Amino acid sequence: MSDFDYDLFVIGGGSGGVRAARTVAATGARVALAEESRMGGTCVIRGCVPKKIMVFASGFPRHVEHARSYGWDASIGAFDWPAFRTHLHKELDRLEEVYRAMLDKSDVRVFDSRARLTGPHDVELADGQTLSAKHILIASGGSPVRPPLANADMGLVSNDMFMLEKLPRTLLIVGGGYIGCEFACMMAGMGVEVTMYLRSGQILNGFDEECRGLISEMMRERGIEIHTGTSIMDMSRESQQDDMPLGGESDAAMGAPVGEETKAEPQDALARNPKSETIARAGCPVRVKATNGRERTFDHVLFATGRKPNTEGMGLEGVGVEVGRRGQVVVNEYSQTSVPSIYAIGDVTDRVQLTPVAIREAMAFTNTVFKGMDQPVDHELVASAVFTQPELGSVGMTEEEARADREIEVYATSFRPMRTAFIDCPDRTMFKLIVCKETRVVLGAHIVSDDAGEWIQLIGIAVKNKLTKEQFDATCAVHPTATEEIVTMSQPVRSG
Ligand code: NDP
């Protein structure tokens, strides 16, 4: 009989923590998991899932517009945000229950509590109870951060966007990364007037330059105002009239007046959200002075300025777990920390902040520590998608990265696909393959298009397996499709 209460204690019930807990429990080990908030973590409760459902919701006006151009007698009415939000939170409740049921079925002991480390094998729960485990896995995720700016708490963060009582009429988004751009497109699709302030010169830093350019152009075409090289200098509340409606003429269609934001929230999910007080504070418009010299008022300001690992107050330094400059838990290729019995996976390690990566890190941990395999985590050639409208799908090197240290050929095409060209819609699709001149291996693939997220998943298989341009070309095209261009780009547009 082990000297420990458990073989594994997991801190955090997000995608990574839950996967590790279940798979380790399946080996016959005794597993416990502590989660202080809702089971499912960022992805299920405050990120990917509600975001993607909002992406779907925001796309309908455009579908209807296109249907009309195709000859349908179609029109779209007002968007009922409160009805949508209620439905959304019911779905999140259902998913949370699914996660709890999976843990229960796997015989994982769940503690609905915050947990902190008190030793290499010890954790303490919020009620003072201490428990021991042979191994501890930190999977506490990350949280959005606001910039160091006076009154920054007047602005919202991404978590808050799923809890809004009503849609704003105007929204300022600060930051042009994944989250800023996705919310800009979703909100614009729902009829919100969106303005973005970027401190740098372009959205989506780190992605392929041409793709970034095309997406920002199309975002502007859809009415999103993007100001580059612009930051907030000062923020203040426009007025303290909490009953002042935010939504102008369309308030009735969009939901309740803002004065209702401070009322008790009837739904469990909303009431349980520890961040909901932020929404209550956001009772009146925010006046913003910017470095571009302009002063403007917005119903809400959203800070999409990055995320930080959740390591504060977890007792890490006290037990000797090394923490990096950004607050991340420092781990080796097996996700092991500087304390051998303690491991960490997912956003808390700030490696690649993506759900499928956290899940793979969980599986590698289980296989290495509990199944005796030697499985380092593979972070190479991870495909990802930004769910803007149009989407950006990307895997491997950008043209700029590849060009830095080798000779490359760039195969690229930008065209109006048949579906939208027929109705004279200006939307363009872009495909780009970055090919190593010497080995002919496709080093990177980048797609700007509706459904690019779906496509890059498939092209990711070819790029991950280091197929050559000639192997792409040997694949017969499927006609008529937009993606046939991927295997028919015969001449490089540039090389060097
Ligand atoms: P990102 O790092 O992608 O973007 C942060 C943005 O905020 C950048 O535009 C950055 O500007 C700007 N910024 C940072 N600090 C400041 C500041 N002080 N003032 C003004 N602007 C600032 O972070 P996100 O929060 O958007 O996303 C976090 C991570 O979550 C992503 O990296 C991704 O891994 C994950 N994610 C993935 C999604 C997906 O897979 N679809 C969706 C959402 C999130 P600059 O460019 O100048 O640095």
CA 347 to chain centre: 11
| Burial per residue of 155-192, b for 16 or more beta-carbon CB atoms within 10 angstroms, e otherwise | bbbbbbbbbbbbbbbbbbbbbbbbbbbbbbbbbbbbbb
Quick count: other Cβ atoms within 10 Å of Cβ 11? Answer: 27
Q: Which fold has domain 6-143+308-370?
A: FAD/NAD(P)-binding domain (3.50.50)
Return the pLDDT at 238.
Answer: 83
Span 146-305 CATH architecture: 3-Layer(bba) Sandwich (3.50)
Angle formed at CA 307 by CA 451 and CA 316, multiple of 5 degrees: 135
**What H or E segment, with its residue span, contains residue 471?**
helix 469-473
* d(CA 9, ligand 1 centre) in Å: 31
- Contact between 108 and 25 under an 8 Å Cβ cutoff? The reply is yes
| Burial per residue of 71-107, b for 16 or more beta-carbon CB atoms within 10 angstroms, e otherwise | eeeeeeeebebeebbeebbeebbebbeebbeebeebe
Residue 352's Cβ-side half-sphere holds a number of Cα atoms within 13 Å equal to 17
* Helices then strands, each counted (H, E), the chain: 16, 22
Q: What residues form DSSP beta bridges with 130?
A: 124
Name the closest-CA residue to atom 25, ligand 1.
Answer: 306
Q: Is ligand 1 within 6 A of the CB of residue 385?
A: yes
- Between CA 338 and CA 349 the distance in angstroms is 13
Q: What's the CA dihedral at 264, 267, 269, 275 to 10 degrees?
A: -20
CATH class of this structure's domain 384-491: alpha beta
User: In the 8-state DSSP scheme, what is residue 468?
Assistant: B
Write the CA distances from 148 to 145, 266, 287, 441, integer angstroms: 9, 34, 17, 44
Domain ranges of the chain: 6-143+308-370, 146-305, 384-491
Q: End-to-end alpha-carbon separation of the chain, Å?
A: 64
Name the closest-CA residue to atom 33, ligand 1.
Answer: 353
Which of helix, strand or coil describes residue 312?
A: coil
Q: Is the dihedral angle over the CA atoms 418, 424, 425, 429 positive or is it negative?
A: positive
Asked if the model's pLDDT at residue 485 lies above 80, the reply is yes
- Between CA 422 and CA 480 the distance in angstroms is 14
**What H or E segment, with its residue span, contains residue 104?**
helix 81-105
Q: Does the annotation list 460 as a binding residue?
A: no
Q: Is ligand 1 within 6 A of the CB of residue 181?
A: no
Q: What is the pLDDT of residues 18-70, one digit of tens each?
A: 999 999 999 999 999 999 999 999 999 999 999 999 999 999 999 999 999 99
Q: Which atom of ligand 1 is found nearest the CA of 147?
A: 18
Angle formed at CA 176 by CA 205 and CA 159, multiple of 5 degrees: 125
Q: Does the annotation list 176 as a binding residue?
A: yes
* d(CA 204, ligand 1 centre) in Å: 8
- Contact between 424 and 400 under an 8 Å Cβ cutoff? The reply is no
Ligand 1 pocket test target in 51, 52, 178 with most atoms within 8 Å of CB: 178
- As a residue count, the chain comes to 496
Quick count: other Cβ atoms within 10 Å of Cβ 236? Answer: 12
* d(CA 120, ligand 1 centre) in Å: 33
Return the pLDDT at 267.
Answer: 40
Q: What is the pLDDT of residues 331-376, one digit of tens each?
A: 999 999 999 999 999 999 999 999 999 999 999 999 999 999 999 9
Answer yes or no: same fold for 6-143+308-370 and 146-305.
Answer: yes
Q: Is ligand 1 within 6 A of the CB of residue 304?
A: yes
Return the pLDDT at 300.
Answer: 97
Q: What is the pLDDT of residues 230-266, one digit of tens each?
A: 999 999 998 754 433 333 333 333 333 233 333 333 3
The stretch 77-86 carries a mean pLDDT of 97
* d(CA 144, ligand 1 centre) in Å: 9
Write the CA distances from 392 to 249, 359, 371, 488, integer angstroms: 34, 22, 38, 20
Name the closest-CA residue to atom 15, ligand 1.
Answer: 305
Q: Is ligand 1 within 6 A of the CB of residue 178?
A: yes
Provide the token pair at 225: 């105002």
Q: Is ligand 1 within 6 A of the CB of residue 205?
A: yes
Question: Closest by alpha carbon to 172, among 203, 198, 153, 200?
Answer: 198
| Known catalytic membership, residue 479 | yes
Average pLDDT, the chain: 92
